[in-house]
Structure 1
Amino acid sequence: MKKISKGQVAVWILAILPVVLVAVVYQRLPAQIPIHWGLNGQVEYGDKWKLWIVAGMSLLMAVMFYFQPKFDPKRNNYEKFSVSYIGFQFILMLFMLALTGICITEALRPGTVDVAMLVCLFVSLLVVYIGNVMPKFRMNWFCGIKNPWTLSSEAVWRRTHRVAGRLYFASGVLGVIGAFIPNNIARFGLLLAPLLMASLVSTALSYLWYRAEQRVC
């Protein structure tokens, strides 16, 4: 039986913490809690039991990430980037814990947190990390830039993810800067527009590189 790494155990502990946090404060929460923040700053409220859904997403994702390599035709490649794969899960669980903390804080003390700023900041930092580790990803069906061209050529996969890593890193940095702009539309624009562009450019390049590779062959 394959030994479970300490990193994987740490991921599972982080995945459980949002549920534990909700359980600890649940009785103190008001019946209606903030569940959605619009770009115009308007807050929508819902029943407090919905916070269990937010917290439970961490557990769901932790289970998904643990088992999905077992269903991947390229399952053996995960060993080649296992540290990056575990690291991504760890950062994602921290992100989900932070989101749960934001919801609880705003439920107990409304107006304490600049939600849009923190969400943009946390997402941008997550993108920075993804960009940093993306060149280490090896061909698989679940992580990275997955399209017919990257999944058909190891060379195209590696080349695409080297470029995509730089583009995603730069997108994340722009998002971090944008998070501190006191305008929600500008914040999300500086986060989403560069990220979309990075994805489109990476996909287009993978197609061109694959076509070039086929012409040579």
Structure 2
Amino acid sequence: MKKRFIWVCAAALLFSLGMLAWIYPELPARVPMHWNAAGAVDGWGERHMLLMHSAFLLGVPVLWLALPTLSPQRFAVDSFEATWWFSGMALAGLFAYLQCIHLLAAWRPGFPMDRALVGGIGLFFVLVGNVMGKVRRNFWLGVRTPWTLANERVWYATHRLAAKTMVLGGLLALAAALGGLPGTVAVAALAGAALVPAVFSLVYYKRLERAGTLEA
């Protein structure tokens, strides 16, 4: 999986750089950089700023390879290594996708950036949500609240819930993007998918604490 992760990152970077080299000469000096919830451009910048996505994409493999070496032994990623590398591949794919749709939006005025953005993030949530229940206690990936990190039982229950909320939120975001629903629907679905497990971790921890059944 580690080698596959490296190959996927390399392919994603080369593809996005190739698209950048193809489209860049045809771009205007100033390009859209930010869109509001209604899909209207509300921020502009120099076209060289489009390179920032490639910089993030280059940073993904560096970061993903380095972080496991920094983990304390008790919180190592070895116990869910396949999930770790899969999540890294999904993240690299997301950054490559963001680079491509940003280029298309700068190249072709009227490109539905808001729908493309929430649709891509929704797909990312679905992919990572499908493996979220396999993530074990660590400092880098998952719902890392004080309560999940403090207790294995809370971590396990929270991530089983997060797997469901992320898939559901991602599917709702995809449906909103494909169905042309307001961007606020997709944003609410994605925000809820992330916030509900975090709140649950606190509630569940306190419930175990009151019952006197907390374990390290």
TM-score by length of 2: 0.85
CA RMSD in angstroms comes to 2.6
Q: Is the 8 A contact 1:18 1:58 kept in 2?
A: no
User: CA shift at 1:212, angstroms?
Assistant: 4.0
Q: Secondary structure at the match of 2:189?
A: helix
What pairs with 1:1-217 in structure 2 (closer than 5 Å)? Answer: 5-43=3-41, 44-74=43-73, 77-111=76-110, 113-179=111-177, 180-209=179-208, 212=211, 214=213
Alpha-carbon distance in structure 1 between the residues aligned to 2:77 and 2:8: 18
Alpha-carbon distance in structure 2 between the residues aligned to 1:216 and 1:145: 19
Alpha-carbon distance in structure 1 between the residues aligned to 2:121 and 2:208: 30
Q: Secondary structure at the match of 1:39?
A: coil
User: CA shift at 1:46, angstroms?
Assistant: 1.2
The alpha-carbon distance between structure 1 residues 146 and 185, as it changes in their structure 2 partners (threshold 3 A), is closer
> Unaligned 5+ residue runs, structure 1?
none
- Alpha-carbon displacement from aligned partner over 1:7-30 (angstroms, at most 9, x marks no partner): 333234324543343234322222
Alpha-carbon distance in structure 1 between the residues aligned to 2:36 and 2:139: 34
- Alpha-carbon displacement from aligned partner over 1:173-212 (angstroms, at most 9, x marks no partner): 2222232243233332333234323432244324434554
Alpha-carbon distance in structure 2 between the residues aligned to 1:216 and 1:28: 60
Q: Is the 8 A contact 1:163 1:202 kept in 2?
A: no
Q: Is the 8 A contact 2:23 2:107 kept in 1?
A: no
Identity %: 25
User: CA shift at 1:71, angstroms?
Assistant: 0.8
Alpha-carbon distance in structure 2 between the residues aligned to 1:216 and 1:139: 14
TM-score by length of 1: 0.84
Q: How many pairs were matched up? A: 214
Alpha-carbon distance in structure 1 between the residues aligned to 2:194 and 2:31: 31
Alpha-carbon distance in structure 2 between the residues aligned to 1:206 and 1:168: 21
Alpha-carbon distance in structure 1 between the residues aligned to 2:160 and 2:174: 22
